A and B are shown apart, each in its own frame.
Chain A
């Protein structure tokens, strides 16, 4: 009953004209970002962050969240029609989606993506609505040792799921932790590592860092990749959008399986949409009666990963809203956006800011319906956007990054920070160091350091404090187990050259 009245309150908020407009703009920009390769949701959200300063907190979060789940929808269009995933989470959709398009079934493939995404999005919101209040009740009892233990586990899980080398992912996480210490130490009042650069006394900005690591480095990589490449768009094959009866029978169960997998993987730090779509595709193939046909245009191969990546967006909100811990880069940005508006996500958010929590949930329902109408009837328009040559697109992306970063604090220093991280991001990608652990470590670094220092002060320097409290003990043990298995895999890899 409580949940019902709260969600009605959320709908009451979202149905106000200004909030509906924000949800629509968010979905529109998200779809655009998803369709166009070269500008992912993190860079787009970072770019629009300064614009949200003028909005209400609820309007800001609705807009930014809309970009995130809108991009998940939009990413599938390029995968199916061009065989270029707009987002990393749409990579698996290329396998069967593009094959369907080549066989003249682009219409049903696009429709299945949109319908599957809608089902997954809606179900994951219900999951978020049910699970988040329960977790928040437990989280109220958390103290510094619990937070320190959870963040340790979060970082290790993130590294565990890293697709490249584990030591490399850990190096990036450790470097992110170091960057988070730059600026004023809130405990001792010391200025650390930034000397007389006053603009950095509040720390290295998240927006310039993300714009650099994801926006600028993406442009630099794409300048190499796309230069001179002709894109083949299968526009003439977008006919008969509606799936057949047999399609429905095949894709609905696949979509539901993808939803469940995606939702729970979305909760995990570092899990996110990309991993969800990979895992769900692998499982779908494994349980299929015709695994050998996957990759040749199976409708289940489109429905499952697309549903999973959309369900993951709902799951990812759970640790952010209940613990204040972001599980991926986009959530880290949303955390930053909420904090700029004076809202600290955590177990008390539902009590202190019910409008933000329930308004966001209601906006996701409405957003999913908007996306259905934006994606299906307007698919032709989105496809035309792909014809914009990259030589026109990338100068615009660069300019948006420059203006976006400058406008946050009117600071030239932020532009330099962005360029430095752009170069770091480019070299890191070339040498296979992942940027995500750096960003997440940077975001949780300050809270992690403070929790760790407070815990040690509470226990008079004894590390046993983490083992005497049940919740922190469980997370520390989980971290140990994961760490040991990581070491085991690495030892095996060093000895026998076995790839994880």
Chain B
């Protein structure tokens, strides 16, 4: 049995069922003669369910892979989850704190905590990165960036 395929096929089956239920409950499906908005998503959901069952059956027949490697390499979990987390923090803080403050803080966190730079190097690198990006995107490419706290 292949553990990843078994688990992923069950997840996909649930996703497919969810799509089917969502289509039936919130949209009009119509008929073949006059298909409505829910028809196409319903078919997509049904396809996902059927295909996930095939993946599940195949997974049961496969031999267990010997590697036993997890979803992420040992010791890298902090960096992976830290990166995902900091991206979410960036999205939440960007319009409140503004581009300059948010970018500086987030870059400093990435350089120091995830890329393992020293405090001083991390602060210098994030200051330079923020400054260059602000100049390039704000002035050269004229992309409007959130002003926030510093009104910049």
Contacts and interface: CB of A to CB of B under 8 A. Distances in A.
A181 interface: yes
Contacts of A223: 76, 79-80, 83, 114
B27 A190 contact: yes
A456 B144 contact: no
A456 B79 CA distance: 51
Contacts of A406: 94
Contact of B87 (A216, A431, A494): A216
A428 to B, nearest CB: 9
A167 B51 contact: yes
A193 interface: yes
Interface string B10-44: 00100100010010001110011111111111001
Given A391-B115, A399-B107, A192 B41 contact: yes
Question: Contact size class for A?
Answer: 35 or more
B91 A419 contact: yes
Contacts of A431: 4-5, 8
Interface in B78-120: 79-80, 83-84, 87-88, 90-92, 94-95, 103, 106-107, 110-111, 114-117
Interface string B42-70: 00110110011011011001110000000
Interface residues of B, number: 67
A438 to B, nearest CB: 12
Contact of B45 (A50, A178, A422, A494): A178
Summarize A's interface: helix, strand, loop or mixed: helix
Contacts of A220: 80, 83-84
B123 interface: no
Nearest to A391: B115
A497 B62 contact: yes
B143 interface: yes
Contacts of B103: 399
Contact of B94 (A412, A461, A497): A412
Contacts of A427: 71
Question: Can you list the 6 inter-chain pairs with the closest CB atoms, starting with the nearest?
Answer: A461-B33, A461-B32, A391-B115, A415-B91, A178-B44, A174-B47
Interface of A: 50-51, 54, 165, 167-168, 170-171, 174-175, 177-178, 181, 185, 187-188, 190, 192-193, 216, 219-220, 223-224, 227, 391-392, 394-396, 398-399, 402-403, 406-407, 410, 412, 415-416, 418-419, 422-423, 426-427, 430-433, 449, 452-453, 456-457, 460-461, 463, 490, 493-494, 497
Given A170-B51, A395-B129, A410-B144, 11 more contacts: A167-B52, A174-B47, A174-B48, A175-B44, A193-B26, A219-B83, A223-B80, A395-B125, A402-B87, A403-B133, A449-B40
27 contacts: A167-B58, A168-B55, A171-B12, A175-B15, A177-B47, A178-B19, A178-B41, A178-B48, A181-B37, A220-B80, A223-B76, A227-B79, A391-B115, A392-B115, A392-B125, A398-B83, A399-B103, A402-B90, A403-B133, A403-B145, A415-B91, A415-B94, A419-B84, A419-B87, A461-B32, A461-B34, A497-B61
